[in-house]
Amino acid sequence: MITRPKPAGRDALALDVRAAIRDIPDFPKPGILFKDITPVLSNPVLFTRVTESQADAAAGLQVTHVVAIESRGFLFGAPVAQRLGVPLVPVRKPGKLPHRRVREEYALEYGTDALEMHEDAFGIGARILVVDDVLATGGTAAATRRLVEKVGGIVVAFSFVIDLTFLHGRQLLVGTSVDAIVEY
Ligand code: AMP
């Protein structure tokens, strides 16, 4: 496992985020305990602390681009990219991106889904920080890493607000450093 030092103040931040996250049972379907991050968005001070901490955790990795995963990843990825001073690249559900795309499929509980990214989003050797709100089984993040590698980029780290560790998503992300503010 790749471990990196946490930014200063991370323990206090983790407590505040944990207190803000709202658990919604049986959403969007029975048996899922949905982690609702909207109370973080509605608290500007907390929201800023979260995204600044995500960016600061990537300091020293020479990140050249932030790749944010549709759709809640966009909310966190955009301010992280601005704080790092690097371009933001959206990874989207099929049919949303207008220009030439690369595509990766990934397994769901039943069936498959796919993600797309513009093929000219960055050049060979780009150093990518992937941002999303929640790491669950890791399928979405792993497919995003494959998309990045398809066009010659390297994922240098993943950054999540929440890691649902009991789903072992990190096992699909072996070889890349994973940062999460709160673990359940
Ligand atoms: P996975 O591919 O299983 O890691 O799922 C990750 C994606 O699903 C993320 O984009 C999350 O936004 C969403 N997600 C999965 N499980 C949850 C959950 N319990 N609460 C909130 N979002 C979730």
Give the residue-averaged pLDDT of 30-53: 97
Neighbours of 123 (CB within 10 A): 11
Token representation of residue 132? 């999303």
| Active-site pick, 4, 10, 72, 170 | 72
Residue with more model confidence, 110 or 174: 174
Helices (H), the chain: 10-20, 38-41, 44-57, 72-84, 139-150
**Nearest Cα to Cα of residue 114 among 148, 90, 138, 91:** 91
Indicate whether residue 133 lines ligand 1 (CB < 6 A).
yes
Q: Closest residue (by CA) to atom 13 of ligand 1?
A: 134
> Mean pLDDT across the chain, nearest whole number?
96
Q: Is the distance from the beta carbon of residue 135 to the nearest atom of ligand 1 less than 6 Å?
A: yes
Contacts of 183 (CB under 8 A, 6+ apart): 162, 163, 165
0.85 exceeded by pTM: yes
* 72 classed as catalytic: yes
Q: Is any ligand 1 atom within 6 A of the Cβ of residue 170?
A: no
For ligand 1, is residue 140 a contact (CB within 6 Å)? Answer: yes
